[in-house]
Amino acid sequence: MFHSLSRRDLLKAVAAGALVSAIPTAVSAGPLRRVRYEKEEDGVISGHMTGAAALVETLLKEGVECVYGIPGAQDNELWDTMKTKGLPYLLVTHEFSAACMADGYARSTGKPGVLCVVPGPGVTNSLSGLGEALLDSSPVVAIVCDVARGEKYKPFQVHELPQVGLLQQVTKGVFPVKCVGDIPNAVREALALAVSGEPGPTAVVVPYPLFIETFKFHCPPLALTGVPLSEDAFARAVDLLCDRKRRVGIYAGLGCMDYSAPLAEVAELLQAPVATSVSGKGSLPECHPLSVGWGYGPQGTKTAEQVFGDVDLVLAVGVRYSEVSTGFYSDPQTPCLIQVDANPENLGKVMKTSVCVHADAGVFLSRLLEQADCLRRPKDCKLPARIAGLRRDEYKKCQESYAKCGIDPMLVVLALRHCTKPDALFFVDVTLAEHYAAEALTAVQARTYFNPTNNQAMGWSIPAAIGAQRVFPCRQTVTLTGDGCFLMTAMEISTAAREGLPVKFFVLDDQAYHYMQKLQQSAYARTTATLLAHLDYAALAKGFGVGYNEITSEDDLEAGIRAALCQEGPVLTRIAADYGKRPVRWIDAVRKRYMRELNAEQKARIVARVGARSIHLKKEND
């Protein structure tokens, strides 16, 4: 079941078959979010120009709306050309942020996000953000300037790191450019690969002397192919789904994000409850009567766990069963599982699967709808009522406060939802509260809930939110971060201030890595390296030039949030957080599953250690 191929290998294997071809194939299907030109010649890069000009023209013709990054000596030519040609850009404070911003743009729009960085530190700084995009299947394209190579190579150049080799580790594919004439196609292939099949990051690496070389270009747009649907497997899936003796549950992932309507129709036809992965939250609006929220094991919502207890066939669409979403692989194995994914390398990797269908989620769902007569089941009036009842009970439990001095982060999650518009964009960071948010922050619209799920790169939410706000200036955009995450990327708030991007930054201030404390306490009966500095957030906000707001009591929570949301421009809000002793379903599920995998000796060691330490009178925390 578990295989040792790296994620990059998996994505690369698929990319080889599913990408760019000169001739469009009739059987191909699936979304190709490429710019549609009215006339084919509108997409041609044509004329005598520099490499920098050709690169910028290509980005413009491919519909790129913003380039995030920092210029350097090697690519000033490129930045100057962006300005001349009117390609919007956003200067950031750190290349990790540039990658996260491109990712935030990509997740909120569904289109590839673009960053531009210098070689050496620009590349290495961007790696964590690209890694997040790789593990979270987000289409990001890095335009990377390289030192001089080939004939122009000189020894001991500044920033002379192996850019291509570094980028290969965290992308689906790297396109190194050797001649100036190849620039447009390299950029187009990188953009196409980023969105083809299972999306992911790519990079184009251009040695800087090529930016000032001139060439007579004539480069038409690439023809793209989609993901083919495996007909045999589809027919077997339909057979299983038509069998009314099996009660179906749908597990929807990120692959369904642009198919809310067909997903809802299929669920209604099958009278099936719908659970999602963390990244799939909102693919079926969580206010839909058949939505049971996140997960369907002990880690996710209680509603999903209970309702899926009665399911004997799971239809998993555009989802991988990754570690975080499943709470360390805690989703129960159902007797029958159909898994559908655009990446065949994802199929049957974690769960025992009855039928694996290699297909784009949207194509699969619309093909299912063609079989409506056979799939349609009698209306089950009890199911929506049962879901509604369970969700109500769960909501009530979430409303109870566990805080002793300060605010329970679960209440923050509920209040944020309550005070924001349905299309508000939420960027939730790697705080323990991310598990509360996955459970209780209902995503009522697709592409509104974002979390760095599988690389868990702390600090991601602040730049990712700024990246999205740049292209959605009028939508409420909110971050929920812990104070530890805040410390990693807070400097980027200066970018929001400089550009007047009105992101509302909410920080859960508990002066600790509470997430680590929660994990450490049960296994070690003490905490180590988890206490953070006491910060003067008001002074920080003043320094950044953004609004400031502080919420210290649960009674003031909603009023405080509304006050921040009403204020124009970016606002930093400190929330005095106290997690108290609220159980975290995700943590409990992971712990239980993890313990099950330990041998007797390993278990005994933990028990003995915790036992011995708990009788110490002196606490040895941090």
Ligand X SMILES: Cc1ncc(C[n+]2csc(CCOP(=O)(O)OP(=O)(O)O)c2C)c(N)n1
CA 29 to chain centre: 24
Cβ-based nearer residue to ligand X, 253 or 484: 484
CA 402 to chain centre: 30
- Which runs of E-coded beta strand occur in 118-239? 140-146, 173-176, 202-207, 214-219
Q: Are strands 214-219 and 45-50 parallel, antiparallel or unpaired?
A: antiparallel
Among the listed residues 33, 514, 574, 582, the single contact to ligand X using CB under 6 A: 514
DSSP state of 40: G
Among the listed residues 90, 458, 540, 571, the single contact to ligand X using CB under 6 A: 458
Q: Of ligand X, Mg ion, none, which one sits near residue 189, judging by CB under 5 to 8 A according to partner kind?
A: none
Q: How far is the CB of 578 from ligand X (least distance, A)?
A: 11
Tokens of 466: 């700024």
131 residue type, one letter? G
Query: Per CB under 6 A, which of residues 241..260 are in contact with ligand X?
Result: none
Q: Of ligand X, Mg ion, none, which one sits near residue 516, judging by CB under 5 to 8 A according to partner kind?
A: ligand X
Q: How far is the CB of 51 from ligand X (least distance, A)?
A: 35
Q: Is 482 in the site for ligand X (CB under 6 A)?
A: yes
Cβ-based nearer residue to ligand X, 22 or 533: 533
Cα→Cα distances 338→112, 232, 319, 373, 535, Å = 29, 13, 11, 20, 50
Q: Binders of ligand X: how many residues, by CB under 6 A?
A: 18
Q: How far is the CB of 342 from ligand X (least distance, A)?
A: 27
Cβ-based nearer residue to ligand X, 211 or 450: 450
588 residue type, one letter? D
Q: Is 512 in the site for ligand X (CB under 6 A)?
A: yes
**C-alpha span between 295 and 164 (Å, rounded):** 37
Among the listed residues 321, 506, 515, 537, the single contact to ligand X using CB under 6 A: 515
Q: Is 505 in the site for ligand X (CB under 6 A)?
A: no
Among the listed residues 253, 510, 575, 582, the single contact to ligand X using CB under 6 A: 510
Question: Would you say how long the chain is, in residues?
Answer: 622
**C-alpha span between 489 and 492 (Å, rounded):** 6
Return the bridge partners of 113, or none. 140
Among the listed residues 30, 273, 484, 502, the single contact to ligand X using CB under 6 A: 484
Cβ-based nearer residue to ligand X, 126 or 260: 126
Residue nearest to Mg ion (CB): 482
Which part of the chain contacts ligand X (CB under 6 A), choosing from 9-17, 98-106, 452-460, 493-501?
A: 452-460
Tell me the DSSP string of 584-606: -HHHHHHHHHHHHHS-HHHHHHH
Reference 237, options 329, 347, 378, 326; nearest CA is 347
Query: Per CB under 6 A, which of residues 377..436 are in contact with ligand X?
Result: 430-433
Among the listed residues 32, 60, 471, 516, the single contact to ligand X using CB under 6 A: 516
Residue nearest to ligand X (CB): 482
How deeply is 132 buried, as exposed, middle or buried, from its count of CB atoms within 10 A (0-12, 13-18, 19+)? buried
Contact 228, 167 (CB under 8 A): no
Tokens of 353: 């699967």
Q: Is 521 in the site for ligand X (CB under 6 A)?
A: no
Q: Of Mg ion, ligand X, none, which one sits near residue 394, judging by CB under 5 to 8 A according to partner kind?
A: none
Q: How far is the CB of 515 from ligand X (least distance, A)?
A: 3
DSSP state of 533: -
Among the listed residues 308, 513, 537, 586, the single contact to ligand X using CB under 6 A: 513
Contact 306, 390 (CB under 8 A): yes
Q: How far is the CB of 434 from Mg ion (least distance, A)?
A: 12
Contact 175, 182 (CB under 8 A): no
* Number of Cβ within a 10 Å radius of residue 494: 16
Q: How far is the CB of 437 from ligand X (least distance, A)?
A: 11
Reference 611, options 274, 603, 516, 465; nearest CA is 603
Q: What are phi and psi of 275, to 5 degrees?
A: -110, 160
Cβ-based nearer residue to ligand X, 304 or 432: 432
Contact 202, 169 (CB under 8 A): no
Cβ-based nearer residue to Mg ion, 347 or 432: 432
How deeply is 451 buried, as exposed, middle or buried, from its count of CB atoms within 10 A (0-12, 13-18, 19+)? buried
**C-alpha span between 559 and 430 (Å, rounded):** 25
Which part of the chain contacts ligand X (CB under 6 A), choosing from 54-62, 72-80, 114-122, 507-515?
A: 507-515
- Which chain residues interact with Mg ion by CB under 5 A? 482-484, 510, 512, 514
Q: How far is the CB of 228 from Mg ion (least distance, A)?
A: 47
Cβ-based nearer residue to ligand X, 432 or 462: 432
Q: Of Mg ion, ligand X, none, which one sits near residue 433, judging by CB under 5 to 8 A according to partner kind?
A: ligand X
Cβ-based nearer residue to ligand X, 349 or 504: 504
Specify the residue for token string 């150049």. 157
Q: Is 576 in the site for ligand X (CB under 6 A)?
A: no
Among the listed residues 28, 93, 445, 456, the single contact to ligand X using CB under 6 A: 456
Q: How far is the CB of 527 from ligand X (least distance, A)?
A: 12
Q: How far is the CB of 6 from ligand X (least distance, A)?
A: 19
**C-alpha span between 595 and 581 (Å, rounded):** 21
565 residue type, one letter? L
Cβ-based nearer residue to Mg ion, 115 or 413: 413
Which part of the chain contacts ligand X (CB under 6 A), choosing from 129-137, 199-207, 275-283, 480-488?
A: 480-488
> Where do contacts with ligand X occur on this chain (CB under 6 A)?
430-433, 456-458, 482-485, 508, 510, 512-516
